[in-house]
């Protein structure tokens, strides 16, 4: 069977992508940055669907870690898919009050990390494949007063998605992105604003935040043969926002 690598696969949207990928018949490499127990739990969920799983620790901003991640994936079989889900936001602050160390770290993980993983993927997808990058509606909305630096990093990923899609189309590799809106994960608490979902959820056009499973379903569609003519697309999954 084909293998899919999911970066940041131990929690939130990434964990749901791993489980839905397994339910769709893929073997899954669960990449994680620090929580080995959570990654092991996700791997067990993958295996409960009768698929093989491999949990691999690695910082996507580290070239050596990314190369090791992709080398490890070979043990499961040929690489078909990559889901670039790993990402960080840093603390919430106006741009004038943001520190440069936070901005650099966000860019390293969110932009350089996606670049490195895409590079290693296209080097190995000799029989074609599919890449799905997880961006954000922040790339379009700007996240003024909160995370302008994060929004900028996701806009960069959307540009990378479009450009790489054109580069590798003739090789049978499709590159797309999903842009989630407000989603019910631990993302906001990590950024120091645990009440953000409660504050903003009711103000969404659909009156609620999204569920990680709803985002994962879109990712799996873009990975699948059903999306065979989709490449260079950014699909907003944002409840109408």
What is the CATH classification number for the domain harbouring 190? Answer: 3.40.50.720
Select the more confidently predicted residue: 197 or 91. Answer: 91
pLDDT average, residue stretch 199-220: 86
What's the rounded mean pLDDT across residues 70-83? 96
pTM of structure: 0.94
So what's the pLDDT on residue 201? 66
Beta strands in the chain (DSSP E): 3-6, 27-32, 53-57, 79-84, 129-134, 173-180, 234-237
The confidence score (pLDDT) of residue 191 equals 63
Query: Could you give the residue numbers annotated as active site?
Result: 150
Ramachandran assignment for 123, one of left (phi > 0), alpha (psi -120 to 50 degrees), beta (any other) = alpha
Q: What integer pLDDT is reported at residue 206 of this predicted model?
A: 79
In the chain, the percentage of residues whose pLDDT exceeds 70 is 95
Q: Which of helix, strand or coil describes residue 16?
A: helix
Determine the Cα–Cα distance for residues 175 and 241; give it in Å rounded to an integer. 24
> Domain range holding 69?
3-237
With b for 16 or more beta-carbon neighbours within 10 A and e for fewer, the 110-124 pattern comes to bbbbbbbbbebbbeb
List pLDDT tens digits, range 142-196.
999 999 999 999 999 999 999 999 999 999 999 999 999 988 777 666 665 677 7
**Number of folded domains in the chain?**
1
- Tens of pLDDT, residue by residue over 98-157, are 999 999 999 999 999 999 999 999 999 999 999 999 999 999 999 999 999 999 999 999
DSSP three-state, residue 131: strand
């Amino acid at each position: 069977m084909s293998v899919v690598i999911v970066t940041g696969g131990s929690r939130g949207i990434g964990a749901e992508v791993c489980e839905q990928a397994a339910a769709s018949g893929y073997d899954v490499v669960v990449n994680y940055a620090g929580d080995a127990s959570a990654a092991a739990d996700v791997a067990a969920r993958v295996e409960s669907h009768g698929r093989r799983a491999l949990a691999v620790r690695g910082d996507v901003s580290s070239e050596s870690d990314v190369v090791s991640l992709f080398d490890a994936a070979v043990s499961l079989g040929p690489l078909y898919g990559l889901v670039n889900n790993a990402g960080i936001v840093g603390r919430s602050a106006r741009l004038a009050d943001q520190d440069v160390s936070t901005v650099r770290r966000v860019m390293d993980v969110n932009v350089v990390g996606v670049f490195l993983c895409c590079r290693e993927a296209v080097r190995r997808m000799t029989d074609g494949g599919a890449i799905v990058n997880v961006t954000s509606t922040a790339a379009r909305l700007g996240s003024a007063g909160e995370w302008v630096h994060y929004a900028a990093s996701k806009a960069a990923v959307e540009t990378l998605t479009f450009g790489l899609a054109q580069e590798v189309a003739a090789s049978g590799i499709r590159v797309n992105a999903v842009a989630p809106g407000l989603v019910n994960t631990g993302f906001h608490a990590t950024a120091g604003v645990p009440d953000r979902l409660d504050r903003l959820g009711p103000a969404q056009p659909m009156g609620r935040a999204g569920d990680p499973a709803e985002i994962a379903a879109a990712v799996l569609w873009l990975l699948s043969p059903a999306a065979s003519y989709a490449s260079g697309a950014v699909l907003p999954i944002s409840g109408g926002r």
